[in-house]
Amino acid sequence: MKKKPILDDIAKRLNITKVSVSKALRDHPDISEQTKNKVKEIASELGYRPNLIARSLTSSKSRTLGVVVPKIAHNFFAHVVGGIQNYANKKGYEIVLTVSEENEELERKHIEALVSMQVEGLLVSVSMQTRNTDVYKWLKEIQVPMVFFDRYIPDLGFNSVIVDDRKAAKDAVGQLIVQGCHKIAHIAGYDYISIGKLRKLGYEDALKEHDIDLNPELVVEGGFGEASGYKGFKELINRNVDIDALFAVTFPVGLGTYVGMREIDPTMIEKVKMLAFGDSGIRGIVPYPHYYVDQPGMKIGQIATELLIKEIEGEIMPVNLLEYVPTRLLKTGWEFPLESSEMKNE
């Protein structure tokens, strides 16, 4: 069996010390760029791989970040994870990704497991079931840095990176009203999850601003996935309400609504204007929803990771900071924001 290369092998090839090799592999400022490049070249040639576990034990730093997302088969979260990984790698950190599957208990277990792995910090988007905050209070007690992204729990003392869900929903629904839609249904998320509560408030704000009375029969509360959209649309049909537009709390909810329409009355797909938060990720190929609030997932992931690393390295403190990332209202198939006049003239 071929011997696994070690630091000493690289040091002997270049006639330098093991300490210098170690520093070069970690991009230490004491080592010249020329030496760093030579060390990395020989390391690659020999197939050297650093022992990250041993390094973490000797340095008391794992250089790893734990990530918890509700879903991974979701265009938005896939982009967020991409942003997290890109920024973390640039700063010399690795990530350990876990998926709660929208389950509160699994979310708690993942957080506990990541802490036991000695990650240096956590990035979390809470599940749609999460109501118990004990695990987050525990993180505070043991002083593990953490940043929420997209879905957050307020007033726990953690920083969060989000979009202005209420304003984005208000502006987007307002554009539907400008187009002449006055019977706008809302398939909403749960009120105890930040995005569900705030996006519904934005919907209500838009109606109020345009002097349209809120009809409770046009609002169906549920989860954030395809099944919730499908069930929500079926509930609207059972209520026998007349609608000319529909605002879905997430793209998967909008997709579930599309499936329901196609099953019950395919003509509604063009008759009822659909607006959703988020998109399919393959714009112009999937023509539904008609309009969507574009959330910059990559940027959200990058900013959240930047905040977390700054907290880990003592540059900032967790102070219930809400870092807002701008959104855009887009039409499916278009690549630039819509102006009011463009929506009017369709």
Residue 341 confidence (pLDDT) above 60: no
Lowest mean pLDDT among 12-21, 64-73, 86-95, 200-209: 12-21
On whether both 289 and 300 belong to a single domain, the answer is: no
Classify residue 298 as exposed, middle or buried by CB count within 10 Å of its CB (0-12, 13-18, 19+): middle
- Do 288 and 208 have their domain in common? yes
83 and 152 both lie in a single domain:
yes
pLDDT at position 346 is: 42
For residue 18, being part of any structural domain is answered with no
The CATH number assigned to the domain holding 204 equals 3.40.50.2300
Structural domain harbouring 266: 165-294+330-344
Q: Are both 230 and 140 inside the same structural domain?
A: no
Q: What is the pLDDT of residue 5?
A: 76
The answer to whether position 287 is within a domain reads: yes
Q: In terms of C-beta density within 10 A (0-12 exposed, 13-18 middle, 19 or more buried), how is residue 74 classed?
A: buried
Query: Within this chain, do residues 133 and 251 fall inside the same structural domain, yes or no?
Result: no
Which pair of tokens denotes residue 168?
């984005």
Residues 172 and 158 in one domain: no
Higher pLDDT, 58 or 198: 198
Q: Could you tell me if residue 44 is inside a domain? A: no
- Our count of domains for the chain comes to 2
Check whether residue 288 and residue 171 sit in a common domain. yes
Asked if residue 127 is part of any domain, the answer here is yes
Residue 159 and residue 106 share a domain: yes
pLDDT tier for residue 222 given thresholds of 50, 70 and 90? confident
- pLDDT-derived band at 334 (thresholds 50, 70, 90) equals low
pLDDT of residue 75: 81
Q: Does residue 217 sit in the same domain as residue 75?
A: no
Give how far Cα 84 sits from Cα of 109, 110, 149, 151, 162, Å. Answer: 21, 18, 11, 16, 14
Least Cα distance to 16 among 49, 39, 37 occurs for: 39
H or E, element range at 141: helix 134-141
Q: Is the predicted pLDDT of residue 250 greater than 80, yes or no?
A: yes
CA distance 7 to 49: 9
Whether residue 172 sits in one domain with residue 146: no
Query: pLDDT by residue (tens digit) across 99-135?
Result: 999 999 999 999 999 998 889 999 999 998 898 999 9
**Range with the largest mean pLDDT of 3-7, 52-56, 231-235:** 231-235
Tokens coding 169: 């929903």
Q: Using alpha carbons, select from 74, 71, 124, 75 the residue that is nearest to residue 95.
A: 124
- Any domain includes 126: yes
Residue 171 has what pLDDT? 95
Residue 146 maps to a domain: yes
Look at residues 213, 260, 216, 203 and name the one whose alpha carbon lies nearest to residue 234: 260
**Banded pLDDT at 9 (limits 50, 70, 90):** confident
User: Residue 15 above 70 pLDDT?
Assistant: yes
Shared domain for 136 and 169, answered yes or no, is: no
Q: Are 81 and 217 in a shared domain?
A: no
**End-to-end CA gap in the chain:** 70
